[in-house]
């Protein structure tokens, strides 16, 4: 198995300015453009962790609660939370900044899953992640439940086998 790597070794920060070609007719950033930037930032993070070519396997739950305006500066920060066999979960957070107005707001968050592949596009083993901070440890622990949920939804895991996920729902019923 490849040697473990620290979560922070996969940290990637990417910054973009929202230009006219990135916007919809309301002069707000298009969702598809933001997803494209997020995909690139998260893929670089997965590449840093695995030192491999990676492909996007899935994206979880992106909501667009706040419009991002023309001229805003968009900053994305991505980090691998946990690696399994060939797949890695990447947490990405997004902020939009209006520099002249001096405002900055958190706009999006998502979990991307990437799979490392060899020269023939076949999945290949990746290093485990060693979390260090409390936040990294929490994301590492909860990654197992998120993996089970996305694999169940993708029809790749039977709900019966999603043990950590079932345990979570059990805990919620007891509360």
Ligand X SMILES: CC(C)(COP(=O)(O)OP(=O)(O)OC[C@H]1O[C@@H](n2cnc3c(N)ncnc32)[C@H](O)[C@@H]1OP(=O)(O)O)[C@@H](O)C(=O)NCCC(=O)NCCS
Which parts of this chain interact with ligand X (CB under 6 A)?
Answer: 55-58, 84-87, 113, 115, 117, 121, 123, 150-151, 154, 156
- For residues 45 and 105, is the Cβ–Cβ distance under 8 A? no
Least gap, CB of 1 to ligand X (angstroms): 12
Is the Cβ of residue 8 or residue 36 nearer to ligand X in the bound state? 36
For residue 149 the two structure tokens come to 């949920």
Is the Cβ of residue 29 or residue 143 nearer to ligand X in the bound state? 143
Least gap, CB of 36 to ligand X (angstroms): 11
Read off φ and ψ for residue 163, nearest 5 degrees.
-65, -45
Q: Cα 17 vs. chain centroid, distance in angstroms?
A: 21
- For residues 42 and 106, is the Cβ–Cβ distance under 8 A? no
Is the Cβ of residue 68 or residue 139 nearer to ligand X in the bound state? 139
- For residues 80 and 127, is the Cβ–Cβ distance under 8 A? no
Least gap, CB of 85 to ligand X (angstroms): 3
Is the Cβ of residue 30 or residue 35 nearer to ligand X in the bound state? 35
Query: Rounded distance, CA 2 to CA 64, Å?
Result: 37
Least gap, CB of 79 to ligand X (angstroms): 17
Least gap, CB of 10 to ligand X (angstroms): 16
Cα–Cα distances in angstroms (integers) from residue 148 to residues 37, 95, 158, 166, in the given order: 26, 28, 9, 10
Query: Rounded distance, CA 79 to CA 174, Å?
Result: 33
Is the Cβ of residue 23 or residue 112 nearer to ligand X in the bound state? 112
């Amino acid at each position: 198995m490849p040697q473990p790597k620290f979560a922070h070794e996969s940290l990637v920060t990417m910054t973009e300015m929202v230009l006219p070609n990135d916007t919809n007719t309301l002069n707000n950033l298009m969702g598809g453009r933001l997803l494209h930037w997020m995909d690139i930032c998260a893929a670089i993070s997965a590449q840093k962790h695995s030192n491999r070519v990676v492909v996007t396997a899935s994206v979880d739950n992106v909501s667009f609660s706040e419009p991002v305006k023309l001229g805003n500066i968009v900053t994305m920060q991505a980090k691998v939370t946990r690696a399994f066999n060939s797949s890695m979960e990447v947490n990405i957070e997004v902020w939009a900044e209006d520099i002249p107005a001096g405002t900055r707001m958190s706009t999006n968050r998502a979990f991307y899953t990437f799979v490392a592949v060899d020269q023939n596009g076949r999945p290949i083993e990746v290093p485990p992640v060693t979390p260090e901070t409390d936040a990294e440890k929490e994301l590492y622990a909860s990654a197992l439940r998120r993996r089970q949920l996305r694999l169940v939804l993708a029809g790749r895991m039977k709900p019966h086998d999603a043990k950590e996920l079932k345990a979570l729902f059990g805990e919620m019923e007891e509360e």
